[in-house]
Amino acid sequence: MKVTSRSFTITGALAMSAIVLAGCTAPAGEPGEGSEEPQFEGSLTVWVDADRAGVLEDAAAAFEDERGVSVELVTKDFGAIRDEFITQAPTGNGPDIIVGAHDGLGKLVQNGVVSPLELGDKASEFQDVAVAAMSYEGQTYGLPYSVENIALVRNVDIAPEAPETFDDLIAAGQAAVAEGAAEYPFLVGLDPAAADPYHLYPLQASFGAPVFEITADGTYDPTTLALGNEGGEAFAVKLREWGQAGILNTNISGDIAREEFVAGKSGYFLTGPWNLPAIKEAGINYAIDPIPSAGGETATPFVGVQGFYISSESENQLAANEFLVNYVGTDEVQTALYEVGGRAPALLSAFEAAQSDADVAAFGAVGAEGVPMPNVPAMDVVWSDWGSTEVAIINGQGDPVELWRAMVESIQSKITG
């Protein structure tokens, strides 16, 4: 125990000396207003995930060099940033800038923690869908850097031709299974408890059933569900059919789907660019196709956009704005971000350049048809009911149309609260 008490004393002594030091430096920290050379003393704090942090280091260094403002990059878990930021911003201790996916924007605005970002003339230099995604109720809030969506990845050795419709795909896939060329007619990663409404959405959209009604100005109206229209019910019936035919299988998780496709066990895999590295590495001879329509209309995937937001509590609004618009919104940084994350850049010039990569071009072409994933706060409610209902339908419980209707009712009642 002696050791412990000694270390306690040492800790105490350290704490004391640290306090004394702090006491000495505190007055010096006051910014000298009206002095000869007004020197900005603050620094920008940016919350980013590990991959992004590496890229931003260069931009941060350049910013410090040219603008005299240091940028502190704080690495956080990407998924945790939004909620932690909402908690921390009101205390005044939050960061100046955060990275985030666009579907969390509604929640950020609802909590009043992000400030609008005027892209100025730069707005036209970004993909339209990216800027639209970074907007909420007519106001732009973020600087987008990447756009991503799913598409149909095809194993050319098993399925030499791109299917016209989803029925064609099923026919071709089942033929391949019958011949023994494949083990699964079609692969998509689902969850045994929550299916995956995100991955199944293009098929649903091809029946003309988006999540919310889309208003005249092209944004979602979060109060009016469109899930429950006739198209939605037709989709529900089809889900049951596909589930029984073994086209959709909730036991095949995302990891399993990838593993099986990489092992050459299926001709089709509905997935995003994040799985391409594994597919390439396995030497699969693949092609990227538009998602075939199941219900007649275009099968539009959700487009996910990632970007940077400025805190409404930031004391450094101007510096933050300058950093984002003129240092992160550049060709170099956007290209570098694309290179590390594999997601297509949001900046048009960088996007054009990235087109030289056939995969990016192919995914980009599919994404051009897509709509941004809804960024209204109500989406949190939608996902859970949506997913568990899809599971029940695919696995043959109850009547698909009735389940679908019950789901719409449940979501509606939760949204109106």
Partner 1 sequence: MSNTTPGAQQPLLAPPAARPSGPRTAARSHAQTVRGLLIKIALLGIVDAIALFAMFILVMREEWLVFAIAAVVTVIINVIYLRPGWLPAKYLAPGVFFLAVFQIFVVGYSGYIAFTNYGDGHNSTKEDAIESIIANSLTRVPDSPTYRLTVVEQFGTYGFLVTDPDGDTLLGTPEQPLEEVDAEEDSTGKAVSVAGWTSLGFGDLLANQSIVVDLSVPLSDDPNDGALRTPDGSSAYVYTSDLVYDETADTFTDTTGGEVYVDGGDGSFVNEAGRELQPGWKIDVGFENFQRAFTNEDIRGPLLSVTLWTFAFAILSVASTFVLGLFLAIVFNAPHMRGKKIYRVIMVLPYAFPGFLSALVFLGLFNEQFGFFNQVLLGGASIPWLTDPWLAKFSILFVNLWLGFPYMFLICTGALQSIPEELSEAATVDGAKPFAVFRLIKFPLLLVSVAPLLISSFAFNFNNFNLIYMLTGGGPRDIEAGVDAGATDILITLVYKVAFGEGTGRDYGLASAFAILIFLIVATVSIISFRQTKALEELN
Partner 2 sequence: MTNPFNTQQGAEIGDRLNPLVAGSGATDRASRAPRTVQTADGRVLPTRRRRSFGRWFADTGWRHLIGVVMLVFAAFPLLYVLSASLNPTGTLVGSNQLFRVVDFSNYVELFQRPQQPYAAWFLNSLVIGLVTAAGTVFLAALAAYAFSRLRFTGRRVGLLTLLLVQMFPQLLGVVAIFLLMSGIGEIFPQVGIGTQSGLILVYLGGALGVNTYLMYGFFNTIPVSIDEAAKLDGASHAQIFFGIVLRLVAPILAVVGLLSFIGTFSEFVIASIMLTDPQTQTLAVGLYQFVSQETSRNWAIFSAGAVLAAIPVMALFLYLQKYIIGGLTAGSVK
Q: Which does 53 bind (CB under 5 to 8 A by kind): partner 2, partner 1, none?
A: partner 2
> Which residue's CB is nearer to partner 1, number 298 or number 330?
330
Give the bridge partners for 354, in sequence order. Answer: none
> Which residue's CB is nearer to partner 1, number 146 or number 389?
389
User: Which of residues 43, 64, 70, 78 is near partner 2 by CB under 8 A?
Assistant: 78
Shortest separation between residue 19's beta carbon and partner 1, angstroms: 5
Give the bridge partners for 191, in sequence order. Answer: 195
Give the bridge partners for 70, in sequence order. Answer: 43
Shortest separation between residue 268's beta carbon and partner 2, angstroms: 18
270 vs 248: CA distance, rounded Å: 11
Q: Which of residues 38-67 bind partner 2 (CB under 8 A)?
A: 49-51, 53-54
Q: Which does 27 bind (CB under 5 to 8 A by kind): partner 1, partner 2, none?
A: none
> Which residue's CB is nearer to partner 1, number 162 or number 414?
414
Shortest separation between residue 74's beta carbon and partner 2, angstroms: 5
Task: List own/partner pairs for 394-402 with CB under 8 A and 24 or more apart.
Answer: 394/190, 394/195, 394/239, 394/240, 394/242, 394/243, 394/248, 394/249, 394/250, 395/243, 395/250, 396/240, 396/243, 396/244, 400/233, 400/236, 400/237, 400/239, 400/240, 401/233, 401/236, 401/237
CA-CA distances (angstroms) from residue 31 to 66, 117, 334?
Answer: 20, 27, 34
User: Which of residues 20, 278, 318, 358 is near partner 2 by CB under 8 A?
Assistant: 278
Q: Which does 115 bind (CB under 5 to 8 A by kind): partner 1, partner 2, none?
A: partner 1
Judged on CB neighbours under 10 Å (0-12, 13-18, 19+), 95 is buried
Residue 251 found at the interface with partner 2 (CB under 8 A): no
Residue 24 found at the interface with partner 2 (CB under 8 A): no
**Angle between helix 379-394 and helix 230-245 axes, rounded to 10 deg:** 40
Shortest separation between residue 112's beta carbon and partner 1, angstroms: 3
Residue 22 found at the interface with partner 2 (CB under 8 A): yes
Could you list the residues that contact partner 2 (CB under 8 A)?
Answer: 1-5, 7-8, 11, 15, 18-19, 22, 49-51, 53-54, 74-80, 84, 87-88, 91, 93, 148, 253-256, 258-260, 272, 274, 278, 281-282, 341
